Amino acid sequence: MTTEQDLAHASLQAILQTHQNQPGALLPILHDVQDTLGFIPDWAVADIAKALSQSRAEVHGVITFYHHFRTTPPAQHTLQICQAEACQARGSRELTAHAEQVLGCSLHGRSADQSIGLEPVYCLGLCSSGPNIQLNDKMVSRVDAAKLDRLLANVKEAQ
Amino acid sequence: MSIRLFVPRDSAALALGADDTAVALAAEAARRGVDIELVRNGSRGLFWLEPLVEVETAQGRVAYGPVEADDVAALFDALIHGAEHPLGHGLTEDIPYLKNQERLTFARVGITDPLSLADYQAHEGFAGLKRALSMDGAAIVQEVLDSGLRGRGGAAFPTGIKWRTVALAEAAQKYVVCNADEGDSGTYSDRMVMEDDPFMLIEGMTIAGLAVGATQGYIYVRSEYPHSFDVLNQAIRLAEDAGFLGENILASGKCFKLDVRKAAGAYVCGEETAMLESLEGKRGVVRAKPPLPALSGLFGQPTVINNVISLASVPVILARGAAFYADYGMGRSKGTLPFQLAGNLKYGGLVEKAFGLTLRELLHDFGGGSASGRPIRAVQVGGPLGAYLPESQFDTPLDYEAFAALGAVVGHGGIVAFDDTVDMVEQARYAMEFCAIESCGKCTPCRIGSTRGVEVIQRIQKDEKRPQQIALLRDLCDTMLHGSLCAMGGMTPYPVLSALNHFPEDFGANDAAE
């Protein structure tokens, strides 16, 4: 019987195979693992290290250096709000406070019902039309409190 | 005959609903039985008008915007005839914001379909590459030297000198690396090039490869730019299939290959040596220099590292000649810079102009003043490591040397405006906090100094022994400025000290207690 765990292991082996001969393969591998599994599980680290002839500590060090990589499963939905200057100048601090209030958590936390993870992001490159957010894969500009409430209601409805 | 409509596919347009607008236009056309051809072009960079829909007419393209999906039904009749409408702006080329620019690097952006090779070539695309193929490497380097082009990533180092160093280095393998880790808040010109005119970057990198004898290039793109990553990969495949990239470029016998690598959300990887570490699959920790990356760069080989805009400026320099490019600009700041008007401005967007215009012209003549209608109080130029300028400095010309004389930087050309509700002590605290979050940790002034900086500023905010804290903050900034290994720690004091020097009242300077 094939379990979910077997599938995950098979995916990892396929990813390692794809990047085997690529110079500087670690970041491309970590991206593929996270894109496939949603995060980089502890058990994958040993296999990645072995494939690249590196120590587990080296791989762990790289994973934890970069903000993008995560070692635990993400919430069902991820809401990122830009915290950088161009968005600050257009009200992102107020928008963040609103999101924290309606979700019942702070940045890096999860909503009371655990379904939405609230994360900071430092610039999406849409700096003339902030405040900007990214909700799952979709970037949205000129987001005020009312627009954020609508977007959040939409993802909940789609659940 | 079908009617050609243009709806941008640039991220900024998408984030304002351009896809929904495109779907609504197609549906409305089908409902009415009107034959349309929908082109997904790049953005013109007039973001307050996005989604900007254009229609091709005998007189030229006519612009409408912002056009949201809900506007389509009511707009459609006017749109397909290029007729007047409350959302209409007349001929796109005549909109003053565009007409008053000097678009050399951005000449095609917003006009063409980013993934159409035919479109690209119909607008001077690959003219620079073709000329470069007829020259030897040294002549290409000389052309770039003569153009006066300086690194557009922020450091403003002469591109031609960098290229010459790599060209003269002896090695079996050399590399061209494009730094597309555009992490500065208030900047997006790299993103626009990658999404809206990717062949220009490919062409520029190929020319760099020919100039220095490199056969492999990498584009290091930040993970926050997924559209750029996708568009570049598609463009590279198209260019390879058409013979503009690969083993035998346009049957010249010369080789250049290109790969795109995705970063992983570390701001410090915009620093060139940290980027090299990251490309090699390591933590993005800054390297000590020397050795220069030009001599010992990626995988220890001679490496040209340039920003997207630097490389994207190369095709026009080769196509039209160094003198054409050097004719723009002032002093030692030759050519043009794509400025990015961001933050609290009424008309935020991409403004490519020759160096030498003033900040005030950008903020008011182009930007239209603040979006909130309140006075502009502070402007941060050059990203999170750039200084905050007060109103008294708005007449400074945009020129590398003029800004350096103020203790400020032009950087990558990001201009972030704040109105008079800004709290400058909070902006200073944020600058230190950002450095604490993003420091690679290698050198102490940056790693520890930033955290101590946050604490000191918090004590200023709480009015705990304020004069002493301010003295401490200045001392700390001095240590960071002079003791850090790279610009992360070395320039974080720019926003902090400029806030303190130009806006002392926010730091409690006028309090009666003092």
The CATH number covering residue B69 comes to: 3.40.30.10
Is the residue at B25 inside a domain?
yes
Confidence of residue A1 (pLDDT cuts 50, 70, 90): low
Nearest CB partner across the interface for B281, out of A25, A140, A141: A25
Residues B491, B387: Cα–Cα separation, whole Å? 9
- Contacts of residue B455, Cβ cutoff 8 Å, sequence gap at least 6: none
Does residue B436 share a domain with residue B308?
no
Residues A62, A132: Cα–Cα separation, whole Å? 28
Number of domains in chain A: 2
Does residue B269 share a domain with residue B212?
yes
Nearest CB partner across the interface for A27, out of B281, B418, B437: B281
Residues B191, B214: Cα–Cα separation, whole Å? 25
Is the residue at B111 inside a domain?
no
Amino acid at B49: L
Q: How far is A115 from chain B (nearest CA, A)?
A: 22
Is the residue at A56 inside a domain?
yes
Residues B359, A139: Cα–Cα separation, whole Å? 30
Chain A: residue whose CA lies nearest to B284: A65
Cis peptide, bond prior to residue B302, ω within 30 of zero? no
Is the residue at A33 inside a domain?
yes
Q: For residue B333, is pLDDT > 70?
A: yes
Q: What is the pLDDT of residue B514?
A: 44
Residue ending a domain, among B72, B99, B126, is: B99
Read off φ and ψ for residue B136, nearest 5 degrees. Answer: -90, 165
Residue ending a domain, among B326, B359, B382, is: B326
Which residues of A are less than 8 Å from B187 in CB distance? 123, 125, 127
How buried is residue B194: exposed, middle or buried, by Cβ count under 10 Å (0-12/13-18/19+)?
A: buried
Please judge whether A129 and B188 are an interchain contact, meaning their C-beta atoms are less than 8 angstroms apart: no
Residue ending a domain, among B71, B99, B127, is: B99
Coil, strand or helix at B297: coil
Per-residue pLDDT averaged across B369-374, rounded? 98
Is the residue at B513 inside a domain?
no
Is the residue at B247 inside a domain?
yes
- Biggest CA pair distance of chain A: 56
Is the residue at A72 inside a domain?
no
Per-residue pLDDT averaged across B371-378, rounded? 98
Chain B: residue whose CA lies nearest to A59: B282
Coil, strand or helix at A39: coil
Amino acid at A81: I
Distances, alpha carbon B72 to alpha carbons B69, B78, B84, B329, B364, in Å: 6, 10, 14, 42, 32
Q: Rounded to 10 degrees, what is the CA torsion of A38, A39, A41, A47? A: 90
Q: How far is A23 from chain B (nearest CA, A)?
A: 7
Q: At which residue do the structure tokens 């500023």 appear?
A: B457
Query: Which CATH number fits the domain that encloses residue B444?
Result: 1.20.1440.230
Residue ending a domain, among A65, A98, A117, is: A65
Is the residue at A92 inside a domain?
yes
Is the residue at B187 inside a domain?
yes
Does residue A81 share a domain with residue A151?
yes
Domain span at residue B400?
A: 329-419
Domain span at residue A118?
A: 77-158
Does residue B281 share a domain with residue B191?
yes
Nearest CB partner across the interface for B342, out of A62, A86, A142: A86
Does residue A149 share a domain with residue A87?
yes
| Model pLDDT for residues A4-63, shown as the tens digit of each residue | 888 999 999 999 999 989 999 999 999 999 999 999 999 999 999 999 999 999 999 999
| Model pLDDT for residues B417-456, shown as the tens digit of each residue | 999 999 999 999 999 999 999 999 999 999 999 999 999 9
Per-residue pLDDT averaged across A52-80, rounded? 97
Please judge whether B262 and A31 are an interchain contact, meaning their C-beta atoms are less than 8 angstroms apart: yes
Does residue A94 share a domain with residue A61?
no
Q: At which residue do the structure tokens 């934890």 appear?
A: A64
- Where do runs of H (alpha helix) occur along B253-344? 272-279, 308-320, 322-326
Q: Is A127 on the interface with B (CB under 8 A)?
A: yes
Does residue B9 share a domain with residue B26?
yes
| Model pLDDT for residues B221-272, shown as the tens digit of each residue | 999 999 999 999 999 999 999 999 999 999 999 999 999 999 999 999 999 9
| Model pLDDT for residues B85-136, shown as the tens digit of each residue | 999 999 999 999 999 999 999 999 999 999 999 999 999 999 999 999 999 9
Number of domains in chain B: 4
Chain B: residue whose CA lies nearest to A19: B281
Is the residue at B512 inside a domain?
no
Q: Give percent above pLDDT 90 in chain B.
A: 98
ipTM surpasses cut 0.90: yes
Query: Which CATH number fits the domain that encloses residue B216?
Result: 3.40.50.11540
Q: Give percent above pLDDT 70 in chain B.
A: 99
Coil, strand or helix at A80: strand
DSSP state of A73: P
Does residue A106 share a domain with residue A56?
no
The pTM of this model reads 0.97
**Averaged pLDDT of chain B:** 97
